[in-house]
Amino acid sequence: MSDMNGKVALITGASSGIGRSTALAFTATGAQVVLAARREEELAGLAAEIEAAGGEATFVRTDVSVAADVKKMVEHTIETFGRLDFAINNAGFEGEFQGIAEFSEEMWDRVLDINLKGTFLCLKYEAAAMLEGGHGGAIVNVGSVNSFLGFGGGAAYTASKHGQVGLTTSASAELAPQGIRVNIVCPGITDTPMHHRARAIIGDEAYEALLQGRVHLKRKGLPEEIANAIVWLCSDEASYVTGTTLTPDGGFTMTI
């Protein structure tokens, strides 16, 4: 992997799961990291862990559905480290799983505000900072296999994740000529708190049937495996990759 010393990576949803692992993966390359999420205590703990290991980290409490928070997040990045090279838009919310006839408008708005509007707001302010910096950059949005596949009870989550793909391809078309690559990673079943909550809803038996019946590798992914894919997309090794979807899902979407 490329040496990222002197580069700055901003990660939303950094308090747990894929976001936390991505922050640690960037630290291992030498990058300085900015940790953003709503849970400030977890962010402070991760920043302390990174610094104790010799890395450089700062954190800022951020609700990605609030424009003022996102603007502040990017401003904090520039004020602290002077630049923004990599941005990982990972913050997400699964919401409730209910049929369309019962699904509340309030829950629909909350899911779309965090997952889709939040991705847009992050792209808006991150791209502006990178363009002003004049040295290009790479942005990775974090979707899901539900960016392509729907499931009963998951209309809001699936719609928000489909929307992220459109945002990614549009942003890439606009920003690539100016040196900013934009891609999306769409993980499958991964060992994160979100998937633990989903397992609790559908039950252990149904969860294992899904894992064994659809995933070619017959196991769930690790957050570190998704993080490695994200960091690779930001690296010089991926310099000709933009506007694309990378799907680390163990073969989930290849099963008929």
Please give the chain's pLDDT, 256 residues, in tens.
678 999 999 999 999 999 999 999 999 999 999 999 999 999 999 999 999 999 999 999 999 999 999 999 999 999 999 999 999 999 999 888 888 999 999 999 999 999 999 999 999 999 999 999 999 999 999 999 888 887 777 899 999 999 999 999 999 999 999 999 999 999 998 888 877 776 676 677 877 887 788 889 999 999 999 999 999 999 999 999 999 999 998 888 887 6
CB 154 within 8 A of CB 112: no
Task: Report in angstroms the alpha-carbon separations of 134 from 10, 52, 238.
Answer: 17, 32, 20
Q: Structure tokens of 9?
A: 């990576």
pLDDT on residue 145: 87
Number of H helices, E strands in the chain: 9, 7
**Whose CA is closest to 90, among 52, 6, 33?**
33
* Residues noted as catalytic: 157
* Structural domain count, the chain: 1
pLDDT on residue 70: 98
What pTM did the predictor assign? 0.94
Instruction: Give the CATH number, domain containing residue 85.
Output: 3.40.50.720
In a domain, 184, yes or no: yes
In a domain, 256, yes or no: no
Q: Which residues contact 33 (CB under 8 A, 6 or more apart)?
A: 8, 9, 10, 11, 14, 23, 26, 27, 50, 55, 56, 57, 58
Structural domain boundaries enclosing 55 = 8-246
Give the span between the Cα atoms of 87 and 21, in whole angstroms.
14
In a domain, 235, yes or no: yes
In a domain, 29, yes or no: yes
In a domain, 44, yes or no: yes
In a domain, 73, yes or no: yes
CB 89 within 8 A of CB 123: yes
Strands lying side by side in the sheet with 32-37: 57-61, 32-37, 8-12, 86-89, 137-142, 180-185, 245-246
Beta-bridge partners for 34: 10, 58
In a domain, 254, yes or no: no
What is residue 217's three-state secondary structure? coil
